[in-house]
Amino acid sequence: MENLKSQSPHMTKRTRLVLLFLFTLVAAYAAGDSLHVVANDTLHIHEQAIDQSMLKKFKADTAFQYGRPQEGISPWQRFLVWVLSMIGKFLYYTTQTLLGKILFYSLLAGILLWVIFKLLNIDTKDLFYRNSASSSIDFKIAEENIHELDFDKLIENSVQKKEYRDAVRLTFLYSLKKLSDSNVIHWLPGKTNDDYLKEVNVHASLPRLQELRYYFDYAWYGHFEINQNTYEEVKNSFQELKSKLE
């Protein structure tokens, strides 16, 4: 009995604390619940009717038909897509691989050379081989037999065949023969054209010889095609050179 009496004050105090805590929770819940009480809505709602003509207009507008099936692309559009994909693959291959870069830059170089040859009127086939039809007189043989060739006949045959490049070459050699016959130059196999020009020096025929040398280099070493009009200029220069030697 004495033990129970000694514990009762302690139990009573604990009970009071528990009751006080429960009361506080109930009071807080009641206060919070009262904050959510919604007042009666007194706002007046004014209903409006939908304009049926406007509604039909929106329904007919394809921009608002979100559920319509997607249209397929046309054959032309498919072709454009294919072309673009090929271009994309080409650009990737030529910019991302070593072999592609080599081929790409080689192609660009080839196109550039082709444009240059076209602008300068160079026949590209002459860079690799000589056409036998346009090379009736071998240059080395003609040079060694400059005093033995019948230039008038050879030039006439070349002009008749429209082999104007050979005609220009033969005309230039003919001018050297004329200068040699007039003792203006000392002709020898192996001498260069510059050597002959130095020998002519201040002779009256020098300007015409320079012109003929220009046409010769233009046609022979430059591989330019010569037409009839150009050869007429060469022929006139040769005639003037002969007049200076008479």
pLDDT along the chain (246 residues), means of 10: 46 67 64 55 75 81 66 79 86 78 83 78 55 46 66 90 90 89 84 86 87 87 82 91 85
- The pLDDT of residue 4: 41
Tell me the one-letter amino acid at 189.
P
The pLDDT score that the predictor gives to residue 25 is 65
Indicate the domain borders of the chain: 75-120, 132-245
Q: Quick one: pLDDT at residue 7?
A: 46
Spatial neighbors of 22 by CB under 8 A, at least 6 apart, are none
Contact by Cβ (8 Å): 207, 201 = no
Q: What is the pTM of this model?
A: 0.46
Q: How far apart are CA 167 and CA 193, in angstroms?
A: 18
Residue 24 has a pLDDT of: 72
Residue 63 backbone dihedrals phi, psi, to 5 degrees: -65, -20
| Token output for 44 | 């007046």
Please tell me the distance from the alpha carbon of residue 221 to that of residue 225, in angstroms, as a whole number: 11
What pLDDT, on a 0 to 100 scale, did the predictor assign at position 195?
Answer: 86
**Calpha distance 147→150 (Å, rounded):** 8
* Residues 157, 167 contacting (CB under 8 angstroms): no
On whether the CB atoms of residues 209 and 241 are closer than 8 A, the answer is yes
